[in-house]
Chains A and B, each alone.
Chain A
Amino acid sequence: MVVNCEEVWREVSNYLDGEVEPSLRVAIEEHIRGCKHCTAVLDGTRNVLQLYGDERMLEVPLGFSQRLHRKLDDNMPGDRRTFLGWMVTAAAAALIVGSLEVARSASRGLELRSEHAQPGKGVPPDMMVVVSEDGKLFHAAGCAFIHEKNKLRTITAAEASRQGYSPCVRCMKKYLVTA
């Protein structure tokens, strides 16, 4: 299969999402190798996804969460939460999160972030995937297995593998070698 520039531009989005047929993917890769313009388009689009897919771009105004909770407090039927109650809850949550962080950082230092997961096979290196800082797996956007929702980043599958992430057992199923 041979594709031209227009076809590459039309498919660049699906290509980065890992949503094109293998034969089309190969054709696009082949075209891009010999086309400067399309290489620039692909690189630039990938950068857009990486920059905007970073959690740091999702800024909320200072105090947003507190004001939201206060609004809820005012509208909850029956017993309202007291400020003291909130402080206790927040402190407890901070403690739990803190201890998890310690547990996690202690288990670091492995080549692969997960001992049990497998690296996967035939993962398109250019595909954009979602990872979380403390997670072990890389995911397709929207995967229900994504944890740590507040520390998400978008990177290429190749970069994710390099950083020790393994394919998710659910959304990346087709790249797993099943026994």
Chain B
Amino acid sequence: MPERVTSLERPAEQFNEEVLIRRVVAGEHDLFYELIRPYERRVYAAAFAILRNEADAEDVAQEAVLKAFKHIRQFRAEARFSTWLIQITVNEARMRRRKAHANIMEPIADRQDDEGNYTPRDFADWREIPSETLERNEVRQKLAEALAELGQIYREVFVLRDMQHLSIEETAKALGISTASVKTRLLRARLMLRDLLAPGLGGAWSMTGKLSFVKGTKPW
């Protein structure tokens, strides 16, 4: 049984990754492509969550991957490679954002957690599970718009945790914040998205145009 226990502690995938990393470090550079393949989309999505612009996100994703390659010797096996890669991406994206916004004051809501409790709006039921509706471009578009409405700190957490399926701990590590902050922001992000989407997905989505959401009447 001891072999089984070992394999549970360290899944084959992680083991393969460690081997790949060792070989890349030893000079087999071509294997780096294989190493990053499962994470390419995540790197882009993480960059996009912060920059909200396709061209910038792609640029930053490329820079981040390149940086990971150049600094692969610094990778320490106690972290997961994917977390390390996302961490680099988040840092690159934030730097890019800071440069672009150097002269603009960021809204306070983007920098601080809101104090106090959040009261979800009282909408009628939204029981239907409309997963098939994702086939429709316009639905994906609405979801993307709602996500863009969130403040930066909420969007980052939501994208990493709920769209990329990172654990709370990994999300905290990747963003350089505490697990308590991740949980607080996650709760707020999920409730805000529900409030933004519930009216539309409850039936009013047949109307065209943007989300029925007027600036200044935000429920939070």
Contacts and interface: CB of A to CB of B under 8 A. Distances in A.
B183 interface: yes
B41 A152 contact: no
Interface residues of A, number: 60
A51 B146 CA distance: 12
A125 B198 CA distance: 23
A52 B143 contact: yes
A179 B162 CA distance: 34
Contact of B194 (A48, A57, A60, A61): A48
Contact of B165 (A46, A76, A89, A146): A146
Task: Classify chain B: how many residues form its interface, as a range.
Answer: 35 or more
Contacts of A150: 38, 41
B77 to A, nearest CB: 13
Given A37-B122, A49-B162, A60-B41, A144 B134 contact: no
Contacts of B120: 9, 37, 41, 44
Contacts of A51: 130-131, 134, 143, 197
Contact of A10 (B38, B117, B130): B117
Contact of B126 (A44, A76, A81): A44
Interface string A138-151: 00111111110110
Contacts of A60: 40-41, 44-45
Contacts of A39: 125
A58 B11 CA distance: 25
Contacts of B166: 141-142
Query: Which label, helix, strand, loop or mixed, suits the secondary structure of the B interface?
Result: helix
Contacts of B32: 72
A59 B187 CA distance: 24
Nearest to B142: A51
Interface of A: 6, 9-10, 12-14, 16-17, 36-37, 39-41, 43-54, 56-61, 64-65, 67-69, 71-72, 75-78, 81, 89, 130, 140-147, 149-150, 152-154, 169-170
Interface of B: 8, 11, 13-14, 29-30, 32-33, 38-42, 44-45, 54, 58, 61-62, 65-66, 69, 80, 117-120, 122-131, 134-135, 140, 143-144, 147, 158, 161-170, 183, 186-187, 190-191, 193-195, 197-198, 201
24 contacts: A6-B117, A9-B120, A9-B191, A13-B187, A13-B191, A40-B123, A44-B197, A44-B198, A46-B129, A47-B129, A48-B193, A52-B147, A52-B162, A53-B165, A57-B143, A58-B41, A60-B40, A61-B58, A67-B62, A71-B65, A76-B29, A77-B29, A130-B165, A144-B11
